[in-house]
Amino acid sequence: MTAAPILVFENVVKRYGALTALAGVSLTLHRGEVVCLIGPSGSGKSTLLRCANALDPLDQGRISFDGHEVRSSETSVRLVRQRMGMVFQNFELFPHLTVLRNVTIGPTTVLKLGQAEADARARKLLAKVGLADKETSHPSALSGGQQQRVAIARALAMEPALMLFDEPTSALDPETIGEVLSVMKTLADEGMTMLVVTHEMDFARRVANRVAVFDKGRVIEEGTPQEIFTAPKVPRTRDFLSHLGWHGESK
C-alpha cells in the first residue's frame, strides 16, 4: 500500500479504572483502505473506535488523523469528528426527526449549510442508500436495515474523509444484513477509507484490504484477508475463527 497514512494509532493505551481496555495498540490506515477489526467480545474494538474520534480520551500513546494529533481540546476535536463518520451498532438515529432531518442535522448545525443545500445533499445520499422514498418517515417506522442505511447517509452527509463502523450489522435481522453490507461495499469500491469492526467474515474476506485481529486490548495479528483467514499464524486467531465458524454452522 503506497497511499498516504490517514489514521495512525501509536501505542494507544486506554484504561477504565483497573481494567485496561486497550493495552498498547498500533495500527495504520492509509487513504482508500478498508481495514476490518475482528476479535472476541470485550477485546476493545469499540473502545478503539471511540478513541479514534476522541469520544473517549486516551491514557497513553498517540492518534493522528490526516497528519494532526487527535487531541482533546474542544475545537480541534470537533474538526476531526466532522471529517470522521461514525456508524453505531444500534444506529442511534434521532427518533424525533424525520429521515431527511436526521441526515441534514449535521450539515445544518455543524457545517452551517443552508437548509435547501442540506436537503439536496441528503436526498442524493438517501437515493444512494436506496431510501429516497422514506425521507418523511420517522426512524421508528423503518426496519433495522433501513435505519442503519439512514445512519450511514447521516454520516456521509458530513462528507467525511474516513468512516468508522462499529458492528453495523450485529443488531440486524439476518434478512436485512445484506442491504447494509452492500451499501458498505459500494462505499469501499468508491474509495472511501473505512475502519470496520465486524463479525461478518464474508464481508471482511471480500472487501477488506487488511484484517486486524484483536484480543485483550491488543492487535495480535494483522494481515491481508488471505493471510488471516487461510493461514493464521497466531493460535488465538485460529481459536477465534473456528469459534465463529462453529457459530456459523450452528445457526
Partner 1 sequence: MDINLTPILTSWPFLLKALGMTIFVSVMSTALGFVIGTLVGALRTYGGRMTNVVLGFYVDSMRAIPLLVILVWTFFAFPLLIGASINAVTAGIAGLGLHLGAYVSETIRAGLTSVRRNQMQAGLALGMSRFQAIRTIILPQAIIRMLPALGSLFVIAIKDSAIASVIAVPELLRQTQIVAGKTFRPFELYTAAMLAYFILCYPVARGVDRLYRRLSHLGSS
C-alpha distances (whole Å) from 225 to each of 9, 55, 84, 164, 201 are: 21, 29, 24, 19, 9
Q: Write the interaction track for ligand ATP spanning residues 206-225; mark x where CB under 6 A is met and - where it is not.
A: --------------------
The item of ligand ATP, partner 1, Mg ion, none sharing an interface with residue 19, based on CB under 5 to 8 Å by kind, is ligand ATP
Residue nearest to Mg ion according to CB distances in the complex:
46
- Single out the residue of 43, 46, 147, 237 in contact with Mg ion (rule: CB under 5 A): 46
Q: Is 198 in the site for ligand ATP (CB under 6 A)?
A: no
Strand 60-65 versus strand 5-16 pairing type: antiparallel
User: Contacts from 54-58 at CB under 8 Å and sequence distance 24+?
Assistant: 54/80, 54/81, 56/14, 58/12, 58/13, 58/14
Q: Which is nearer to ligand ATP, 147 or 198 (CB)?
A: 198
Grid-cell match 422514506, residue found: 134
Question: How far is the C-alpha of 106 from the C-alpha of 64, rounded, in Å?
Answer: 23
Give least dist CB 116 to ligand ATP, A.
Answer: 39
Residue type at 199? Answer: H
C-alpha cell at 198: 465486524
Where on the chain is the footprint of partner 1 (CB under 8 A)? 50, 53, 55, 74, 78-79, 81-82, 84-86, 88, 90, 92-96, 105-106, 109-111, 138, 140, 154-155, 158
Rounded to the nearest whole angstrom, what is the least distance from the CB of residue 85 to partner 1 in the complex?
Answer: 8
Helices and strands, number each (H, E), in the chain = 9, 10
Residues numbered 43-102 forming contacts with ligand ATP, rule: CB under 6 A? 43-47
Binding-residue pattern over the window 10 to 49 for ligand ATP, x denoting contact by CB under 6 A = ------x--x-x-------------------xxxxxxx--
The radius of gyration of the chain from alpha carbons, rounded to an integer in Å, stands at 18
- Binding residues for ligand ATP (CB under 6 A): 16, 19, 21, 41-47
